[in-house]
Amino acid sequence: MGKHRTDKVGADVTGASRPPGAKPLKVLLVEDNAADVLLFQGALQEIPMKVDVQVAPDAEKALVLLSDRAFESDLVVLDLNLPKLWGYQVLERYTRKNVPVVVFTSSRSEVDARCALSLGAREVVHKPTELQPYRETVRTIIEKWAQQT
């Protein structure tokens, strides 16, 4: 388990959300739940643009990537409930504030949301529990932030 591992997945679909010929949107998904990773990746298949996703299955791996100056990302999508360290700790230790962090969490707590925002998250989005709303929410996050990068 001590081995550094991340997974890259690309949704290779062309469309109008980013200008033609634009580079793919690079997303770091910090998510330990394999089912949520699959749902996220599946939702990307419906987005009319190319999105390259790199998955960090825990906060420690995310922090290693985010501290590497050679690592490039346009957006970080962060779960709060992670093994080893909490998502809050990622926000506290994350120094490259030029790349937006969207917290994507199952927590419905306003305290959690306020805390995440105070630590630098640009947005807190609640994970829907049903499939279609989940997919639509992922698409909304990606399309919104693709326009801002």
Query: Per-residue pLDDT for 20 more than 80?
Result: no
Residues linked to residue 78 through DSSP beta bridges, in sequence order = 30, 103
Query: Per-residue pLDDT for 77 more than 80?
Result: yes
Taking residues 99-103, report their average pLDDT: 95
Pairwise pLDDT comparison (8 vs 43), residue with the higher score: 43
Least confident of 24-38, 82-96, 127-141: 82-96
How many Cβ atoms sit within 10 Å of the Cβ of residue 144?
Answer: 15
How many Cβ atoms sit within 10 Å of the Cβ of residue 130?
Answer: 8
Provide the b/e sequence for 93-115 (b: ≥16 CB within 10 Å).
ebeeeebbbbbbbebeeeebbeb
In whole angstroms, what is the distance from residue 4 CA to residue 27 CA? 18
> From the centroid of its chain, how far is CA 4?
19
Please give the mean pLDDT across all residues of the chain: 85
Task: Supply the pLDDT for residue 48.
Answer: 85
H or E segment at 50? strand 50-56
Query: What is the layout of strands, in order, in the sheet containing 101-105?
Result: 7-12, 50-56, 25-30, 75-78, 101-105, 123-126
Query: Per-residue pLDDT for 141 more than 90?
Result: yes
pLDDT > 90: what percent of the chain?
A: 71
Q: What is the pLDDT of residues 109-119, one digit of tens each?
A: 999 999 999 99
Query: Per-residue pLDDT for 9 more than 80?
Result: no
Query: Per-residue pLDDT for 42 more than 60?
Result: yes
User: What pTM value is reported for the model?
Assistant: 0.84
In whole angstroms, what is the distance from residue 11 CA to residue 39 CA? 13
User: What domains does the chain contain, in order, with CATH numbers?
Assistant: 7-147 (3.40.50.2300)
Q: At what angle do helices 34-44 and 131-147 cross, to 10 degrees?
A: 60
